[in-house]
Structure 1
Amino acid sequence: MKIALLGYGKMGRTIEKLAEEKGHSIVFKNTKDSSDGKLENADIAIDFSSPEAAVANISKAINAGIPIVSGTTGWLDSFDEITDLCKERNGSFIYASNFSIGVNLFFNINEYAAGLFASWKEYTASIEEIHHVEKKDAPSGTAITIAEQILRHSNQKEWKLDGKDEGELKITAKREKDVKGTHIVSYDSKIDTISLKHEAHSREGFAMGAILAAEWLKEKKGIFTMKDVLGL
């Protein structure tokens, strides 16, 4: 499989290494300031760029008829625009706030737990996420996905970064040196606390999930999620 890497930071380099170990080749890669190779030679594109560059990168791939997998967060105000373009061009697109297989299993556990707690109003949900200091968006896209799942089963109306009001689902975002990504969901009552935690130990889990999604998407048309890829 010939891969275009849209964004060539730490994640892009990790994907390159693991993809080549699996026998794939990188035929194009770009950063904000430079590019190498030809996008049109790619069978598939993988976007881990920046919130500012994601919409242009994804659009360019779709317009070129290249299936694209995107793990960039912080650009979802334009999500409908991208899905409309994908439908118009009969393209292929997967977006995930997190491609780690473990995180996607965690999402399923989180939604199931949220349903269990829906009847027990004495418990209040909250979310804490911890990432490396270079991460630009806060809260993380993964934390937002977790929050949206909880809100579907809760009396809380919206999530809020450092929220304090009773009707808000509080998300706390911390930035620390060399943290790959930790997410903790807590249900607190006066008598106890129940917590669910996912802690990434390396970027390889995210990269391997993105490569798996790219392999799955290559011959398909439409808009998909990691649930489709993993059969969840």
Structure 2
Amino acid sequence: MQRNLNQSPATGTETAAQAASFRQNAEGFAKIKDIIFLMLGHWKWFVLSLAVAFGAAYYYLQITPKVYTASAAILVKSDEKNSGSEDMLLDLGIKTQKVNITNEIMSMLTGSVADEITRRLQLNTEYYHPGTFHKTVAYGVELPVTVELPDLGQAESASFSLQLRKDSTIRISSMVLNDKALDGSLTFSMGKPVKTPLGIMTVKPSPYYREGFQDELTISRIPFSTASA
């Protein structure tokens, strides 16, 4: 009997603690419930906020042009039997150090290499497709024609709009030469040199051109030094 009397106060304390904990949990649940009902009462504002946020994100992605990067590494193995390898590297603008090891350390003459790549690939001529939010780069299978402007100097710039028609004729307009707008437009056949306000121009079909294909392009010719920089 004495043992039961001694345990009664402890049991009463535990019961009071449990009751207090239950009241706290009930009050916390009531607060959460009130917050939920408050949010449900203003659900239109939450939906509108989400729609604005997703719309802004979508618009940003649409107006931001894609950016591409490329990198490469070159490893030249030393081969004493191949005496012409050094001359071949010098023709490409690559200087090799005179060291007698299996793998030679080489340093590139960056300027000359970039100039040669720009000249061979004609990287100073840029092609774009017009778009709703921004123009997109046209290359590879998306580029039906290529343009040559041999009369333009390396320091000159030019741009124009090109329309490719079903009958393989070309129409150019909105011509700009060295930041000066030029009036008029021209229509001519593909593959033949034509005299234009921008000088002699030749529009040639690319490997991906198909008969009856139609397209619109914006073509920009930038200074050679800018393209190779």
TM-score when normalising by structure 1: 0.23
Question: Larger radius of gyration, structure 1 or 2?
Answer: 2
Q: Which has the higher contact order (CA 8 A, sep 6+)?
A: 1
TM-score when normalising by structure 2: 0.24
